[in-house]
Amino acid sequence: MQHLNERADVQNIDMMNLTGFCRNCLSRWYQEAADARGIEMGKETAREAVYGMPYDDWKALHQTEASAEQKAAFAKSSPDH
């Protein structure tokens, strides 16, 4: 998580295009792992654990509009999304 927080310049769409998962996927897996261990955790709490801050704050500070090239690569590599 520290590495991802240090690389806030890397957009989620770029992570999806390169790795097949992004910070949102990680937060969902984190939440599912907590739930499997009997730890109640909501979506926003899990996202805050991954993003290091509330998700809406992270988006406002770091997220940019995806380029046409990023969107095309995403559509090609992730037909189920």
- 70 within domain boundaries: no
Domain extent at residue 42: 2-61
Concatenated DSSP letters for 57-70?
A: HHHHHH--PPPHHH
- 77 within domain boundaries: no
- 56 within domain boundaries: yes
- 44 within domain boundaries: yes
CA distance 59 to 63: 5
CA distance 57 to 44: 12
Two tokens at 51? 């993003």
CA distance 49 to 52: 5
- 73 within domain boundaries: no
Domains in the chain, number: 1
Residue 81 has pLDDT above 60, yes or no: no
- Report the CATH number that the domain containing residue 41 is assigned in CATH: 1.10.3340.10
CA distance 50 to 27: 6
- 24 within domain boundaries: yes
Taking only the tens place, the pLDDT of each residue in 8-65 is 999 999 999 999 999 999 999 999 999 999 999 999 999 999 999 999 999 999 999 9
Provide the pLDDT for residue 43: 97
Provide the pLDDT for residue 76: 85
What is the mean predicted confidence (pLDDT) over 73-79? Answer: 81
